[in-house]
Amino acid sequence: MARNDEFFLEKWINYYGNCFGEENIYILLDGEDQSIPANSGNANVIKYPKISGQVVAAEKMRLIILSQKAAQLLKEYDLVVGTDTDEYLVVDPECKCTLAEYLSKLDCPVCMSGLGMDVGHNLNKETEIDGGKLFLQQRDYAFVSSRYTKPVMISKPVRWGSGFHRVKGHNFHIDSNLYLFHFGCFDKNMLEARFFDKDRIAAGWGRHIKKRFRTINFVTNKTAKNGDKYLPIARIFQTICRPIYALNKPSMAWWYLVVTIPERFKNVL
Output the pLDDT for position 120. Answer: 97
Output the pLDDT for position 3. Answer: 87
Contacts 24+ apart (CB under 8 A), 147-150: 147/116, 147/118, 148/87, 148/116, 148/117, 148/118, 148/180, 148/182, 149/113, 149/114, 149/115, 149/116, 149/174, 149/180, 149/238, 149/250, 150/83, 150/87, 150/113, 150/114, 150/116, 150/180
Alpha carbon distances (Å) from 46 to 29, 36, 61? 6, 9, 16
> Domain-by-domain residue ranges, the chain?
79-265
* Among 46, 43, 45, 37, residue whose Cα is nearest residue 18: 43
Output the pLDDT for position 56. Answer: 67
Residues 6+ apart with CB under 8 A from 61: 51, 53
Which 8-state DSSP code applies to residue 5?
Answer: -
Output the pLDDT for position 198. Answer: 64
Output the pLDDT for position 262. Answer: 98
Alpha carbon distances (Å) from 15 to 135, 164, 259? 12, 19, 24
What CA–CA distance (Å, rounded) separates 133 from 62? 31
Q: Tens-digit pLDDT profile for the chain (269 aa)?
A: 988 888 999 999 999 999 999 999 999 998 899 999 999 999 999 998 888 776 668 888 889 999 999 999 999 999 999 999 999 999 999 999 999 999 999 999 999 999 999 999 999 999 999 999 999 999 999 999 999 999 999 999 999 988 888 888 888 789 999 999 999 999 999 888 876 666 666 655 566 666 778 999 999 999 999 999 999 999 999 998 877 666 678 889 889 999 999 999 999 99
Output the pLDDT for position 229. Answer: 97
Amino acid, single-letter form, for residue 146: S
Give DSSP secondary structure letters for 196-246: G-HHHHHTT-HHHHHHHHHHHHHHHHSPPEEHHHHHHHHHHHHHH---TT-
Which 8-state DSSP code applies to residue 269?
Answer: -
Output the pLDDT for position 201. Answer: 61
